[in-house]
Amino acid sequence: MDAHKINSANASIRKVTWGGIWANLGLAIVKVSIGWIGGSLALVADGVHSVSDMVTDFAVLLGAHFGAKEPDPKHPYGHGRLETFSAMFVAIFLALVGAGMIYQASVVINRVHLGHENIEPIGISVMWAAILSVIAKELLYRITRKVARRVHSPALYANAWHHRSDALSSIAVVIGFVAFRAGYEYADQVATIAVGLMIIWVAAKVIRDCLEEFAERAVDGETIKQIEHVVSSDERVKGYHKLRTRNVGREIFLDMHILIDPNMNVEQAHDIADELEADMHEQISRPVNIMVHIEPDIPKFRK
C-alpha cells in the first residue's frame, strides 16, 4: 500500500464530501420549506433526496476512512473492499429513495383520481428553488466526479452520481411546474415519478459496478496500457506474460511474469523487479501492489 497516495486521496475525499454535506443541508432546508409552502410534492421529495445525500456523504467518509486502514494479519490485502461496500450502500439507499418517491406520487394520483384529495396550485417560488438546486447540484456533481476519477474512489464516484440525480430531480420539478401551469393536473406527480425512475437507474448502474469489482474484474483498459508501457520501457525485460489485475477499492493488485537474461544473477534479477515496482508507483496515479515472477528468457518460458 502506498501510504502517501492513500492519505492524499483521503484528504481530497474529505474536503469535497464535507462541502457536499453543507450544500445538501442548505438545499434540503430551502426545498422542503418552499415545496411545503408552495404545494409541490415533487420539490418536497427533492428536498428529502438532498437529506439522503447527507446520509450517503457520511457513508463515503466512513468508507474512505476504514478502507484506507493498513493491512493486518487478518486482512493481508488491506481493507479496500470496505470502500466498495460503502459505494454499494450509497447505491442501495439511492434506489430506496427513488422507489419511495414513486410510491408517494402514485398514492397522490390515486387519491385525486378517486376524489379523496385535490391538487393545490403550485407557487412560482417552487420553480426558482428548483433552478437553484439544479445549478448547485450539477456543480457539486462535476467537482465530486473530478475528484473521484483522480483518486479512483468508487464510493465517491457513486456519491457524485447522487448529486447528479438530485440535479435531474430538480429539472423534473421545473418541467412539472411548467406543465402544471399549462393545465396538466398531474404534472407535479408525474415529474416525481420520473425523478424516482432516474434515481433507480443511477443506483442500478453503481450496484453493477460494485458487483463487478467483487467478482474480481480487471482494471480499466487505460490503466492496463500504463502498466504495459512501464514494463516495455525497461530494456532489460525481454518479455512478459500472465499479467493479471484486480481492483480492491482504490488500490490495484497485479501480478505478472517477466523474462530476463538467463545469465543474470539473482541480485541483478531482484534489482529489475524492484525498479519495475518503483516505476509503477511513480507513473500510475493509483496505489499499486505488485507481485513479479522472474523467468529466464529461454524458449521454454516464452509465451
Query: Would you state the cell numbers that stand for residue 295, as one nine-digit string?
Result: 523467468
What's the distance, CA 257 to chain centroid? Answer: 32
1.20.1510.10, 3.30.460.10, 1.25.40.10, 3.30.110.30: which CATH number matches 3-214? 1.20.1510.10
Q: Assign domain 221-301 to a CATH class.
A: alpha beta
In the chain, list all ranges with CATH 1.20.1510.10. Answer: 3-214
Mean pLDDT of 146-155: 80
What is the pLDDT confidence band of residue 48, given thresholds at 50, 70 and 90? confident
* CA angle centred on 243, ends 77 and 210, rounded to 5°: 50
Q: What is the pLDDT of residues 196-211, one digit of tens each?
A: 887 788 788 878 888 8
Mean pLDDT of 277-281: 84
What is the average pLDDT score of the chain? Answer: 79
Nearest-angstrom CA–CA distance, 127 and 146: 29
The structure's pTM equals 0.65
In the chain, list all ranges with CATH 3.30.70.1350. Answer: 221-301
* CA angle centred on 11, ends 9 and 15, rounded to 5°: 120
Residue 183, phi-psi category: left (phi > 0), alpha (psi -120 to 50), beta (remainder): left
Order of strands, sheet of 288-296, starting from the edge strand that comes earlier in the sequence: 239-248, 251-260, 288-296
CB contact at 8 A, 172 and 216: no
Nearest-angstrom CA–CA distance, 97 and 94: 5
